[in-house]
Amino acid sequence: MNPEKEGSLIYQLIYERKVCRITSKYKIFNHEWDEATGQILFSSLDSSRDSQLGMIRFNVDWELHQLCKIVDTLALSGQEWTFSDLTSHFNSFIDKDSSVFHFIQMQIQRKKQLGKVRSSETYQATLNSFMSFRCGVDLTFDMIDSELMELYEAELQNRGLTRNTSSFYLRILRTNYKLAVEKGLTQDCHPFKRVYCGIDKTVKRSLSFAKIKQIKELDLSLTPSLDFARDMFLFSFCTRGMSFVDMAYLKKKDLKNGYLTYRRKKTGQLLTVEWTRQMQDIIDK
C-alpha cells in the first residue's frame, strides 16, 4: 500500500485450501492499520478522522459478522457451495426493501404526496446528514445500534452543531427506526438510549426598541429590495411576529373592524391582532 494514498480494506477467506478475496467499500491509510492485531488504528490528533475511522470499523465488524453468518448458513444447508455463492449472497445482502436510505427516501416522497413539504425537507436534511456520516454506504435497520448512534452524535458535534440540532437529526432517525420496527424490518434494540433526543431551552435573543426604531428610520430609497425587506420585517414586528408565509397568504377580507384575523399555515391556529397606524402606513406604501 502506498503510504501517501488510501488503500482498500480486503476480506480474505480460506475454504478447502482455496482463497477468496472480497474488496470492501472502505479505504484507509497505511498508518491507520495495525498488521499485528488486524485492527484499525485511531489518531488522537484528528477527532473528525477518528469519527470516520470509527464508522469504518463498525461497518467492517458488521460485514465480517454477516460473512460468518452466510458461511454458517451455507455449511448447514448440506449442499456444496462455492465462493461465487458466498459473494453473491454477500453483495445482495442489502436490497431496497431493507435499505435505510431507501426507506427514508420513501417517507420523504410520501410526505410530499400528503402536502407536508416542510416535514419532507427536514427528513431530506436528516438523510443527507446521515448519508454524509456513512460516506454514502447504505445499511439495514438491524445494523443500527447504540454504538452507531453514539458515533453519529459525536460526528454531528465535531461538525460544530449544537446539541439541539444534533437532537433534531437523531429524533427524525428515531421516528423512521420505530416505523421500520412497526413494519417488521427489525427488532427494537433501543439504539437511541445513549444519545440525546431532547430539546434544550435556548437563551431568548431580541432586538431593543432603540434598534427597531433605528431600522425603521433607515433611508433605503436607493435599494428597493432592502426597503421592501425592511417593511416586511416591521410588519411582522407589528403583528407580533407573523411569519412571512402567513403574510404572503393574507387577504383583504382578513381585516375587519380594526382587527386582522388569520390562520397560521404551520399550525392552523386562529390568531387576531389589532390593526395599528404603523401597519396601515406599510400597507399604504
Tens-digit pLDDT profile for residues 25-37:
888 888 888 888 8
- Domain end, chosen from 43, 67, 91, is at 91
Task: Look at residue 68 in the predicted model and tell me its pLDDT.
Answer: 84
Task: Look at residue 1 in the predicted model and tell me its pLDDT.
Answer: 54
Q: What are phi and psi of 201, to 5 degrees?
A: -70, 135
- Domain end, chosen from 91, 125, 142, is at 91
Give, in degrees to the nearest 5, the angle at Cα 197 between 195 and 201: 125
108 shares a domain with 61: no
264-274 confidence digits (pLDDT tens):
988 888 999 99
**Selection from 80, 66, 53 nearest residue 11 by Cα:** 66
Q: Report the alpha-carbon distance of residue 271 to residue 269 in Å, rounded.
A: 6
**Selection from 128, 124, 130, 98 nearest residue 111 by Cα:** 124
In degrees to the nearest 10, what's the CA dihedral of 266, 269, 274, 278? 0
Looking at residues 181-193, what average pLDDT do you find? 94
Looking at residues 53-59, what average pLDDT do you find? 78
109 shares a domain with 81: no
Cβ-count burial 159-170 (b if 16+ within 10 Å, e if not): eebeeeebbbbb
110 shares a domain with 85: no
138 shares a domain with 159: yes
Task: Look at residue 44 in the predicted model and tell me its pLDDT.
Answer: 62
Q: Report the alpha-carbon distance of residue 167 to residue 202 in Å, rounded.
A: 14
H, E, C per residue of 115-136: CCHHHHHHHHHHHHHHHHHCCC
- Percent residues over pLDDT 70 in the chain: 95
Is 192 inside any structural domain? no
Task: Look at residue 187 in the predicted model and tell me its pLDDT.
Answer: 93
Q: Lowest mean pLDDT: which of 9-13, 42-46, 53-57, 271-275?
A: 42-46
2-32 confidence digits (pLDDT tens):
667 888 899 888 887 888 888 888 888 888 8
Is 204 inside any structural domain? no
Is 71 inside any structural domain? yes
Looking at residues 225-249, what average pLDDT do you find? 93
Is 18 inside any structural domain? yes
Q: Which residues span the domain enclosing 267?
A: 209-284
Supply 72's cell numbers: 454458517
Is 191 inside any structural domain? no
Strand partners, 14: 19
- Domain end, chosen from 147, 164, 182, is at 182
Is 195 inside any structural domain? no
Is 196 inside any structural domain? no
Q: What are phi and psi of 274, to 5 degrees?
A: -70, 135
Task: Look at residue 2 in the predicted model and tell me its pLDDT.
Answer: 65
